[in-house]
Chain A
């Protein structure tokens, strides 16, 4: 049996807008992946523990409150500390284009903002998996 792809969709910080995260979770399920959704108000610590326990291949972070420059890199950092930097992190939400280079530098491999078609995300996932 081929390895099933598992993806964690998480909402770090205090932002409670989950329409996007829920849509992505559902769409990724329709694309054939197993999606673990954490709910809102997760700390970076709890996201990382969850990612490791669930042995996910990807972590998708959704944030609309502007705290992405602080919280997204924190998740990547903690994954590194726990020897889990093979888990690929991507993000989405309300993120100005000019912040994306910084996030990529910090280890967030892709940022999918509002209006991105699902196909772009699944293409990214498939391509990344091929690389492994």
Chain B
């Protein structure tokens, strides 16, 4: 006669007999097991007894609210994610070569990295640019550089993501101008500008202007693109950098979504209809090593955003509620020691992003803890994506880990904790206020500090760094940026300034200043006009700095 027992009762039996027998002889490796973010992980996850109603409400179907399982009904069965490797260094000529190489090797979208002077609105000949020209990305001083950057690359055939924030309007204007010269109309342009200034204040540091005028520029871009460049993703609300700054997985999505809420509220505040721009908002997340937590994180993020858009902002269009995102594997997880290990790390992270349903992916190269990637390393990174896509089988079905007791439990936990953060920030009056108070920065810093101490005292293992170390030869074959680059760029700049119509430039700057001073004017047309006349990035940013002022960092230690 068999006694009917529930799962939980059987679990108790198991714990008292089979498990106990082993534990008594072989204790587990740790007292407590935690995720990458420090959350406890259960020994065993069991069916949660979810009802059909709950399934439909919380998990649902791909391509349908709340999009937990993905934003497209066929996902990778229909089309793989876009393989989009972030690249750019040195001169526009060199970067152009690297883009052509990557496209030949099977990359499906471009991702442009700009150098720091460009990101902060300085020309290569500015004194603040010393030592920095062309180092972390390509140097763009004027439309001339942009033309060289995309030489031979048909802008109606590729989608281009530009990692540019404070001067995003200027680079977008340049892109539109280059397309025009190629004979490509605006309505055909596909791509993204990062354009997420809030995370700059929180974690990345390449801001120029204070929050209010920065938000104005963002609204100008939303409005302009909704009419003129309808296929363009006008913002990539980013959690990547927040995670790199040391946040936990929960904080990564919570602060990103809170940023998103601020942008949406702001745009609605100046009269834009939510459904007119929300469909073009995109997101950008990180992929760290804890596979299970990362997959759950992406699913939780989609669920939360859908609910935010529906309940907080009354979005009516499906597209407005769908969270589409790009992922990059975590730079901060790469080690300088035993660099080939990083290939393995990136593979795990790729798998996490793909099982999590990302729309596009950048994989880091093995040598990136030391320098920008060499051509050889970047190819391995691209191959990693191609192998997962074509050989691993995980793309044959949608959201494969759904229903895993562990994954659903962690998804729920992350969603609930992220909501708590989001509500807390709402009570503070929104993200801008929370940043001003230093709340967000402090949360991130505390997580970062805890993480680092764990690595230092060995309770968190990093292979090759605090365990399994070897004596190593210095890495060879790293990419070096030619230091004479700045001189080259400065000469180029002088030539551009000599050949252009300087009267027209002065007039365009004057008009821009006037437009900037009047709060209601959309600055995009004025910037486009200036850019076409070969006004430099530094000159345009300079005028805006004059009118808007500069943001003062507020240190939270």
Contacts and interface: CB of A to CB of B under 8 A. Distances in A.
Interface of A: 13-19, 22-23, 25-27, 37, 39-41, 43, 65-71, 74, 94-98, 113-115, 117-119
**Which among B132, B245, B369, B483 has the highest number of chain A CB atoms within 10 Å?**
B132
A47 B336 CA distance: 28
Given A26-B449, A65-B116, A94-B371, A14 B204 contact: no
A97 B448 CA distance: 25
Contacts of A117: 456, 466
B269 interface: no
Interface in B241-295: 244-246
A39 B245 CA distance: 15
Given A25-B557, A94-B370, A96-B370, A65 B132 contact: yes
B246 A19 contact: yes
Contact of B135 (A40, A65, A97, A98): A65
B130 A114 contact: no
Nearest to A38: B555
A126 B334 CA distance: 30
A67 B130 CA distance: 8
Interface residues of B, number: 44
Contact of A115 (B129, B335, B372): B335
The 8 closest A-B pairs by CB, nearest first: A16-B205, A70-B131, A67-B131, A97-B474, A66-B135, A14-B116, A115-B465, A67-B132
Contacts of A69: 131, 483
Given A23-B449, A97-B474, A97-B475, A66 B371 contact: yes
Contacts of B174: none
B543 interface: no
A19 B131 contact: no
**Which among A41, A114, A115 has the highest number of chain B CB atoms within 10 Å?**
A115
A25 B555 CA distance: 12
Contacts of B128: 14, 43
B456 A13 contact: no
A114 B336 contact: yes
Nearest to A26: B449
B90 to A, nearest CB: 11
22 contacts: A13-B130, A14-B120, A14-B128, A15-B132, A16-B200, A19-B448, A39-B553, A41-B205, A43-B128, A65-B132, A66-B136, A71-B131, A74-B131, A94-B369, A94-B370, A96-B474, A97-B474, A97-B475, A98-B474, A114-B369, A115-B462, A119-B456
Given A97-B370, A98-B478, A22 B445 contact: yes
A101 B555 CA distance: 33
B452 A17 contact: no
A66 B372 contact: yes
B350 to A, nearest CB: 22
Interface in B121-136: 122, 128-132, 135-136
Given A13-B132, A41-B205, A65-B136, 7 more contacts: A14-B116, A14-B119, A66-B371, A68-B131, A94-B371, A97-B336, A113-B336
**Which among A14, A26, A71 has the highest number of chain B CB atoms within 10 Å?**
A14
Contacts of B332: 19
Given A37-B555, A114-B369, A96 B452 contact: no
B239 interface: no
Interface in B90-137: 116-117, 119-120, 122, 128-132, 135-136
B557 A96 contact: no
B8 to A, nearest CB: 43
Contacts of B246: 19
Contacts of A39: 553, 555
